[in-house]
Amino acid sequence: MLLINKLNNFSIISSLLDNDFYKFTMQNAVIKLFPSAKAKYEFINRGKHSFPKDFDEILKENLKKMAYLKLSNEEKNYLKKYCPYLDSSYLDYLNKYQYNPKEVNICQKGKNIRMNIEGLWSRTILWEVPLMAIISELYYKLTGAKRISDKKIIILTKEKLKKYKKLKVKIGEYGTRRRYSYQVHKLVLKILIEEGYPFFMGSSNVHLSHIFSIKPIGTQGHEWIMFHAAKYGFNKADRIAMENWLNIYRGNLGIALSDTYTSSVFFKNFNKKLSDTFKGVRHDSGDPISFAQETIKHYKNFQINPIKKKIIFSDNLDPCKVASISSFCKKKINPFFGIGTNFTNDVGLPSMNIVIKMVKAIPENKWISVVKLSNVEEKSTGKKKMIFFAKKILHL
């Protein structure tokens, strides 16, 4: 009971910017292009984790506190300086934005948690990442699992950094959503910034990037393309989503996400103009070496030199995987590695396997189920009937 009372008085999310950068870039695009669109998201417990008693009530208490978060003048000035492609109209919107806990429905039956988020897409888009960070931190606190010490975390992070430096690879930190805790996240990022030069390129967490006065990194997530499928159809979704992104950001944030409807479908949509204009692509599922081969072949077919393009890998990376991928990419294409859980939740405990995904959208006047067809079956999301339909349409 003492722990529960303590957690009810403790705010895990203390800043509106404690979120992944791509949530803000997508929110800006949604406000401009789809201001009346609605979305529904669901929590998926991939790891079949057992949640302790009253977990839902403690989670709700944390959400209530988020309603009081506001963008500070200092934070707004930081975004103006470090993210000039976010225009003043969007920053004014964000300045007035407040989380509404009524958009989130949570219930617990036994050891299972059910949760969905519903409302205007432009508003609900910010919930996913901080919600997952809260769930993760509360889970470890309430289950009483003992992590390794800060001293060991520092040593471990420095050892990984030493390996990445030896490989001479460019790395970024993408670990907000499944971090062990805010405190561990901040500690790891401090080490990466202090000792990672010139190979550490930044963090996707905007709040921590602000604290350490560095530029946040990231572009777009799967939901951007999933919504476009609901509005324009599965065959055109990748292409129109990329074209809309270019119209908003005019070449900035120019990394295309490749696996919403499998990479084979993506490359069919990634035409000469888009391949020329986007600075590179992001891999998030399936065999990374096969994807790199496919990407290089795609660029060469359009007479584009792959060495002038970036390929970002962000799927469950560790030093061993990075070494293998970077060895293959050497002198062929420019790799970049977005490392998440292995940085922010490598504390001697099993990491959580949880996601929150868009499941429905209202592009115009009715709810439409949305799906993600990853390069691997276990990362696909959506209703079975709609997955079957999408595969049939896309000839998968």
H/E segment holding residue 164: helix 150-167
Angle, CA 380 vertex, CA 112 and CA 58 arms, to 5°: 25
- Kindly report the backbone phi and psi dihedral angles of residue 40, in degrees, each rounded to the nearest multiple of 5, phi listed first: -130, 135
Predicted confidence band of residue 1 (pLDDT cuts 50, 70, 90): low
Asked if 2-146+356-366 and 150-344 have one fold, the answer is yes
51, two tokens: 């949640």
Q: CA separation (Å) from 134 to 128, 145, 181, 262, 282?
A: 10, 16, 8, 30, 27
316: alpha, beta or left? (left if phi > 0; alpha if psi -120 to 50): left
State residue 2's pLDDT score.
47
- Would you give the DSSP letter of residue 50? P
Give whole-number Cα distances, 15 to 65, 150, 182, 269, in Å.
11, 23, 11, 38
CB proximity list for 194: less than 8 A, separation 6 or greater: none
**Which secondary structure element, helix H or strand E, spans residue 328, and what is its range?**
helix 319-329
Which homologous superfamily is 2-146+356-366 in?
A: nicotinate phosphoribosyltransferase (3.20.140.10)
Neighbours of 225 (CB within 10 A): 27
Strands 334-339, 280-283: pairing is unpaired
Residue 203: what are its φ and ψ, rounded to 5°?
-120, 150
Question: What is the residue extent of each domain of the chain?
Answer: 2-146+356-366, 150-344
Backbone angles phi, psi at 245, to 5 degrees: -65, -40
CATH superfamily for domain 150-344? nicotinate phosphoribosyltransferase (3.20.140.10)
Q: What is the pLDDT of residues 217-257, one digit of tens each?
A: 999 999 999 999 999 999 999 999 999 999 999 989 999 99
Q: DSSP string spanning 175-195?
A: -STT-S-HHHHHHHHHHHHHH
Q: What is the pLDDT of residue 359?
A: 97
Tens digit of each residue's pLDDT (9 = 90 or more) over 142-153? 999 899 999 999
Percent of the chain with pLDDT over 90: 93
pLDDT at 379 over 90: no
Q: What is the pLDDT of residue 5?
A: 55
Percent of the chain with pLDDT over 70: 97
Statement: residue 25 has pLDDT above 60 = yes
Q: How far apart are CA 393 and CA 396, in angstroms?
A: 8
For residue 85, what are its two tokens? Answer: 């492609």
